[in-house]
Amino acid sequence: MKNIAILGSTGSIGRNGLEVIQQVSGLKLFGISGHRRLDLLESQVQKYSPAMVVASDQELASSYNFPRSEVIRYTEGKSGLKELASHPEVDTVLAAIVGRAGLESTWSAIEAGKTVALANKETLVLAGAQVMKMAQESNATILPVDSEHSAVFQALQTGQPKEINRIILTASGGPFRNLNSEQLKSVTVEQALSHPNWDMGQKITIDSATMMNKALEIIEARWLFGLEPDQIDVVIHPQSIIHSMVEFDDSSVVAQLSPPDMKLPIQYALTYPDRILGPAPRLDFSQAISLELEPPDLDRFPALELGFEVARQGGTTGAVLNAANEMAVSAFLQQKISFNDIVTACREILNQHEFETNPSLEQLISIDLWARKEISKWIA
Ligand code: NAD
Ligand code: MG
């Protein structure tokens, strides 16, 4: 039995993770965390009976009446998250908090040498070099949950790391794949929130519409697989069935295919190296399936270029891009800025920042704060 902790069980990845754990043999839920939706957290406690529960928003938690229990340990706040992430009884941590808020708890799991099933890509964008170094020191294993990186990880098992020529990340192109620059100027929040293939949290859904999600994934792949940025390519694949590919030195391209559903990559990270019967849907080859692939348009989706730039430069750029994007997405959701402003704002703040090649984690945390302040001024 593997004991699993889910950081962010009330989110889209977290809820899929609970289903996987319930339906796959050999996995046992140890603990969960939720931030604001405490009623949902409570219903998860009743349904899945974890040993430990963290309500991470301290203020909300203090006024919420969780039922007292002899067998369930309730904790609160950031310290509760860290306690769950590094708990001696936990084998694998599903890091599924969204954004920079996931940094400290993901870091704690890595520091404690856990196996980390990583959905929280922002932690790698913000502090990829530091996180990978810590994982090496603590002997932690980081397994990708992001579907593209899971696909690359699976394809990589057909060759050796030194035989990789490049990886090709697929991108659905989001809801605005076919809009021209003029049309992109006036898209609404509601349109941006309706993704054609995936049902996800709000932040990553907007990131998919701007293609910032692919930019973050380029940076994520750079650190996760230790690749040179020019070994990473992006191709538009509207059906989201080919989840990504690896091209080896002999020119063979190996791809991983499955319907667009996060249960498979979550399950693979939790059961690795085993493949077990689980709840993920199967491809139906009795129906015609068309698979289109086309190059991305960097003019209409300038976020991609930012991803490559940050992957090349490293240092403090990832922290700045991530913070600026989180703030800009939230401003767009509140209808304070337009859709195209999101990437423009990120570009502005990146240009303004004072670059540091080898920042410490503390420096990255303060540059994240700096970027948030700067972008607030820009938005105002
Ligand atoms: P979501 O918004 O649905 O869920 C976010 C979770 O984080 C919730 O459980 C919430 O309670 C928690 N949270 C939010 N703010 C917090 C804070 N300040 N402190 C502690 N916890 C907090 O998001 P999601 O779509 O499940 O995405 C989660 C992560 O997985 C993101 O990093 C995303 O990029 C990544 N991811 C998601 C998908 C997907 O299909 N949803 C696919 C690939 C990667
Ligand atoms: Mg992805």
The Cα–Cα gap between 6 and 18 comes to: 8
Is it the case that residue 69 has pLDDT exceeding 90? no
User: Could you please report the per-residue DSSP string of 263-291?
Assistant: HHHHHHHHHTT-----S-----TTS----
- What are the pocket residues of ligand 1 if the criterion is a CB atom closer than 6 Å to any ligand atom? 8, 10-14, 34-35, 56, 96-98, 101, 119-122, 146, 198, 200-201, 204, 262
What ligand is nearest to the CA atom of residue 197? 1
Distances (CA, A) of 257 to 153, 240, 241, 281: 13, 9, 5, 12
Break the chain into its structural domains and give their ranges. Answer: 2-145, 149-260+292-379
Main-chain phi, psi angles of 201, to 5 degrees: -65, 165
| CATH fourth-level superfamily of 2-145 | NAD(P)-binding Rossmann-like Domain (3.40.50.720)
Would you say the C-alpha torsion 266, 267, 272, 275 has a positive or negative sign? negative
Type of residue at 186 = S
Distance (angstroms) between ligand 1 centre and the Cα of 345 equals 23
CB 117 within 8 A of CB 14: no
CATH number of 149-260+292-379: 1.10.1740.10
- Return the percentage of the chain with pLDDT > 90, whole number: 97
Is it the case that residue 31 has pLDDT exceeding 90? yes
**How does pLDDT run across 78-126, given as a tens digit for each residue?**
999 999 999 999 999 999 999 999 999 999 999 999 999 999 999 999 9
Please state the pTM of the whole predicted model.
0.98
**294's torsion region: left (phi>0), alpha (psi -120 to 50) or beta?**
beta
| pLDDT given for residue 67 in this prediction | 84
The Cα–Cα gap between 241 and 222 comes to: 23
Is it the case that residue 68 has pLDDT exceeding 90? no
Which residue minimizes the CA distance to atom 17 of ligand 1? Answer: 101
CA diameter of the chain: 61
CB 152 within 8 A of CB 246: yes
Question: Over the chain, what is the mean pLDDT?
Answer: 97
Distance (angstroms) between ligand 1 centre and the Cα of 165 equals 32
| pLDDT given for residue 129 in this prediction | 98
Closest CA to 318 of 219, 229, 222: 219
Q: Identify which of 7, 9, 13 to mutate to test ligand 1's pocket (most ligand atoms within 8 A of the CB).
A: 13
Helix (H, G, I), strand (E, B) or coil at 249: coil
Q: Identify which of 42, 44, 56, 98 to mutate to test ligand 1's pocket (most ligand atoms within 8 A of the CB).
A: 98
| Segment 264-290 mean pLDDT | 97
pLDDT band at 304 (very low <50, low <70, confident <90, very high): very high
Distance (angstroms) between ligand 1 centre and the Cα of 8 equals 6
